[in-house]
Structure 1
Amino acid sequence: MKYHFYNANILAGGKILYGDVIVEDEKITYVGKPISTDADIQIDVKNNLLMPGFVNAHVHTPMTLLRGIADDMELNSWLYDNIFPAEKKFTPEDIYWGEMLGIVEQVKAGITTFEECYFYYDEIIEAVKKAGFRCRLGLPSTFDGKNNKEMVDFLSKYISKLDNKLIKPVIYAHSIYTLSEEELCTLVDYSAKHKLPMSMHLAETLKEVGDCTVKNECTPPEYLEKLGFLDRPSTLYHCVHLDKDDIRILADYEANVVTCPSSNLKLGSGIAPIYSMKEQGLNICIGTDGTASNNSLDMFKEMFLVATLNKATLYDASIISANEVLDMATKNGAKALGFENCGDIKEGYFADLILVDLSKPHHQPLNNIISNLVYSAKSSDVYFTMVNGKILYENGKFNIGEDIEKIYENCQKITKRIL
């Protein structure tokens, strides 16, 4: 299938260009000045914006089912008293429908790639494949009663299933407070043996840091360094409570950091030191976290917070630019998740593209489109989403393999049963 996008403002390479883009099958084959060409589908962008889709670098997608059930409480009470008990009631089919609901929300908001961290992997894989989404799937989270050999067998079983070019695995160790040192070492060894990257929630709360310091006589990054975790390509979620030495350790190992500001604010966890991380050269990405702690999957909201929070805490409006934040939400995330030729609009890159309506009043006048994207745009401005050359969403219509009303109906039934 060949698509010709014309009359387009194009966000490419961090700049706004005016011209055309051609997509053939799953790849971008032309980016440049207006041209005439035959195509299966001609798309008049009408002077709106064609840009790379967002990379949601940390999300628990099926937690759409838990939206609003445990608000206004700190992380430990939220997690142990409410979320974990509710999750024990989920069936595999529940997770399929929760995943589908989260895919609907993400695709409508211009997200084209995400890092999934949840359980019942068969159902997650089925939903992601059916929708045609790009995903890095985290395995296993916790050991859930398995011994080391059983965990190795479990990982090998599921990693062999990820033969879809849109889905790849990451060894996901939930956290230092839900896994023992022996379990963490097992996952590190497996990662090294099979040349797989690793991911983890890290330094999300003061309690986590304090408990680690008391138990292990070191900070969470120092603990991961000791275990050899950071020797593996690593993506670390949250990283709210890091001092300068912690940040230096992560920078020395070229770790990727995912900031999730809405979740950290809502749970009262704190504000990540984004500016200090940036100054140390860390690859910073953006995630939404799950809808039980956010409560939406909206990268526009996250970009605004990433751009503004450190400005307020450091009393300096110049420390992070809109361009830098857009990179965090697109190409930095693609780099962290290991998806090459994604996260930008270039010839030879995969066609993960969205269209943003610039005719809305909050975009007018069009003095600075990039600034508008970060400081005034809304997810409702997205009216077209393409992943790997396939249109998944256009003007309110979805093409993700399931009927939207059926998804909503099933998710409502699930929540009535478990709550």
Structure 2
Amino acid sequence: MKQILLFGAGKSATVFITYIINNAAKENWMLTIVDASQELALAKIGGSPHGRALSFDITDTEARNKVVSEADIVVSMLPAALHYQVATSCIKYKKHLLTASYVDDAIKEQENTLKENGILFLCEMGLDPGIDHMSAMQLIDDIHAAGGVVQSFKSHCGGLVAPESDNNPWHYKISWNPRNVVLAGKAGAHYLEEGKEIRLPYGQLFNTGNTVSVDGLGKLGWYANRDSLSYATLYGLETAHTFVRTTLRYVDFIDGWRKIVDLGLTDEADKIDTSNKTLAAIWQQLIPAAVIAHASPLFLQQLEHFGYHDSDTVLPAGNYTRADFLQLILETKLALSPGDKDMIVMLHEIDYTDNTGAAKHINSSLIVKGDNSLHTAMAKTVGLPLAIATKYILNGTIQLTGLHIPTIKEIYKPVLEALGKEGILFEETVS
């Protein structure tokens, strides 16, 4: 029996767990889940004899090493900062490791060790990063194979609320780690536009007014992701004059979030004493009256939704950073209700010349809606690529070793085919 070890049973892990449990009898798998909440992990296993739940501190090296040593493959869906703890155990016991997070410097430094020991670390194997890499590379490789040359590449992706569940002035609800939402964009952005390198600091990231139209949804706003240009070489697009990877949001969200950032409400330094203070009192402490006096009607509605005039809710005593406070607000005011549906939107825009020199344009789009607040589109599009890759590593379909992200055909071809059978399919138009 193959032993699959999962660290983390949070929001994005739900569909991964369901896929593994549903296929466990056929594939002869056993799933062990380690989470801070054993109760949560047990709930997601749902009484299946093919799963077990454990709970211990991830920094407990002895406990971590024990479960890793017993596994055939390890998947980490912990916060990104904790992956390296898992990675050290995987290297010690020569176990393959999968994550949905960006490759960090500490793991990059282990690349030679992984090759020498025949271990595969497959990172960026979720949605964004993950499905974005795979679907983009399939398009790019096909263009290159036919003798084409890519001039411009834009890749957009966002986790949004589905229109039928959109009932607040932010046009947003939380379907993944709320801390990541609070801190999104902190690293600024670096990308290429019409031959010019653009570097945007955090304070300017949400000021661009960039939009894109998506069939069936209309206009969405976007802001650039981190260091887009670090992927140009990986994608084989060093000569493109435009290369950018972005996050999608509804336009009103970006407008409001720009003001949140300008007001310093995502800062992680100074502490706020919340003892016996209402939400209204804290908001009035954080936002100068002059800002409110000149605020747009939309931003006033957004603040109202965040409890700006809430004199009934009293926060527990404690010292919060502004980012902590904002995270608390997001978790309570933008939570998915049980029947709510989230939505994933991905769009690749590629301009290229074909082998005759004719100019062509490809739009390749993906829209996925969740079933409810538990089986979300986010959980599906993060969890399924990880689960499918887990299956293909265990059965030998993927036989790579070393450090990889899913930009090569040996990974993206079988995984995209399997995702298509799960209903995750792109629609393409060429003009």
TM-score (norm 1): 0.27
TM-score (norm 2): 0.27
